């Protein structure tokens, strides 16, 4: 396998064929051959999860990360290798979140409505309330800025004798 593979998908009615490119990139990235965008790891859901909130949050974060990549690629070298975990309960969630660069464990069935956030393996904050998604997105954005640091544009060196 080189830098490219071909994936054929039947598009949704009225859908675009660009989904084929995204799936091909995800295959190459999952195999560890090339990184295109930060990966979102999410649990598939089970009897411990009580809603689709974690699935919706995982999809929202993945979409948001893809939207950020054109700008981030220029400003934050290496950000494409970042791993984000969005887990649906606190049984397996904290472990997965600790192994990711940044992760969140959402409340599952019969669990307190709190969501611990882990950054570089350490629990840093617990989110509560109706703005968990927005607050987590802000934490991810801050993490990218701090960890990957804005690349400064190269300054031209002045030629000798030129003021």
Q: What is the Cα–Cα distance from 85 to 93, expressed in whole angstroms?
A: 8
User: Which one, of 25, 5, 13, lies nearest residue 69 by Cα?
Assistant: 25
Tokens of 23: 């799936």
pLDDT band at 4 (very low <50, low <70, confident <90, very high): low
pTM for this entry? 0.75
pLDDT band at 125 (very low <50, low <70, confident <90, very high): very high
Residue 25 has pLDDT above 90, yes or no: no
pLDDT band at 54 (very low <50, low <70, confident <90, very high): confident
Q: Where are the domains of the chain?
A: 1-9+16-36, 37-148
At 156 the pLDDT is 35
Q: What is the Cα–Cα distance from 54 to 86, expressed in whole angstroms?
A: 7
- Number of CB atoms found within 10 A of residue 133's CB: 19
Does the domain formed by 37-148 have CATH 3.10.580.10?
no
At 162 the pLDDT is 46
Average pLDDT, the chain: 82
């Amino acid at each position: 396998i080189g830098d490219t593979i071909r994936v054929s998908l039947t598009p949704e009615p009225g859908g675009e064929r660009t989904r084929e490119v995204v799936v091909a990139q995800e295959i190459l990235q999952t195999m560890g051959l090339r990184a295109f965008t930060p990966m979102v790891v999410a649990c598939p859901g089970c009897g411990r999860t009580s809603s689709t909130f974690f699935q919706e949050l995982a999809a929202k974060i993945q979409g948001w990360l893809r939207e950020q990549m054109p700008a981030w690629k220029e400003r934050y070298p290496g950000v494409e290798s970042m791993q984000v975990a969005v887990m649906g309960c606190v049984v397996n969630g904290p472990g997965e979140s600790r192994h990711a660069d940044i992760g969140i464990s959402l409340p599952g069935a019969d669990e307190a409505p709190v969501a611990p956030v882990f950054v570089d393996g350490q629990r840093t904050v617990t989110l509560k309330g109706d703005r968990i998604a927005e607050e987590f997105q802000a934490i991810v954005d801050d993490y990218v800025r701090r960890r990957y640091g804005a690349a400064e544009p190269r300054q031209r060196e002045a030629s000798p004798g030129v003021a």
